[in-house]
Amino acid sequence: MKMKHLYFVLYIGLISCGEDKPAVETEKTEPNEQLSMEELIDRKVKAELSIPGTENYTMSIHKAQLNDDEFEDAIIVVNRKEHTLQSAIDKNNVAYQEEVGYFGNYNFLFYYDGMTHTVTRKIAVPSNGLIPLKVEFANILTEGYKDFTLDVRIREARYRNFYTVRKGVPALIFQCEIHNVDDVNNFNVNHVKYDVGSHSLSKDIVIYNAKVKFTIPKDLSSDFEIETEPKGEEKFRFFYYPAQQKYFIKKDQIQ
């Protein structure tokens, strides 16, 4: 997967990236006051993903206020690494899966609403099934509550998905590439910053070349942490336009 071609296709596509049509169903569990948040999430995840009792999987719950109702909500991410490996063996395509970086629907996102005590249906996040999604919270669209990002791994690349909660469902509002390998096998890294909104109160998302502050592993498709700082002038600036609920980029920045 080459950076040069993906990079610009990705950004051009984002010019019209909106959030008016959530890509997931909004069916929720019925409220159950007898269950704690953790118990409700555990039951919903196992039912939605049909996880057998013998499977080892990881689930992490990340709490924050994600809408304007003042109740604490939660983002839940589930990784099915064992199922990923076993599926490759059962289908006799281990070599192929190694080549494509175990890409598939093995990582999942759920949203827990604190006010209604409900959990959304599963949201598949296509990615490397051996590497869990990484969650971070940030005030992007508003200072009143948090939005969140997911770091998603696909082969040597890392993408960052930006979400806000709309009508009780996480809505993807932006995506950018954090690192990848280009056509001549150079490892390229970007740094992302939030800046004061240039067209609204919502923050701009600014992309820079990155100064790497971590040890680059030999296996770039492996799971590793990153630390960067901006290097040089900004490369791209995306601004939020509330009337269309979309992030845009000025035409003169498209190369």
Tokens 């109740």 — which residue? 71
Average pLDDT of the chain, as a whole number: 89
pLDDT tops 80 at residue 74: yes
Confidence band for 3, pLDDT divided at 50, 70 and 90: very low
Tokens 């949203």 — which residue? 111
DSSP class per residue in 235-255: EEEEEEETTTTEEEE-GGG--
Least confident among 77-81, 157-161, 200-204, 247-251:
247-251
Closest CA to 151 of 211, 223, 205, 213: 223
What is the per-residue pLDDT for 185?
86
Collapse the DSSP code of 41 into the 3-class scheme (helix H, G, I; strand E, B; otherwise coil) and give the result. Answer: helix
Closest CA to 74 of 49, 41, 30: 41
Q: What is the pLDDT of residues 86-145, one digit of tens each?
A: 999 999 999 999 999 999 999 999 999 999 999 999 999 999 999 999 999 999 999 999
Instruction: Give every CB contact of residue 91 below 8 A, 6+ residues apart in sequence.
Output: none
**Tokens coding 39:** 């118990």
pLDDT tops 50 at residue 2: no
Region 213-218 average pLDDT: 94
Please tell me the pTM assigned to this model.
0.87
What is the per-residue pLDDT for 251?
83
Q: What is the pLDDT of residues 166-178, one digit of tens each?
A: 999 999 999 999 9
**Tokens coding 170:** 């996480």
pLDDT tops 60 at residue 80: yes
Q: What is the pLDDT of residues 23-64, one digit of tens each?
A: 444 444 455 568 999 999 999 999 999 999 999 999 999 999
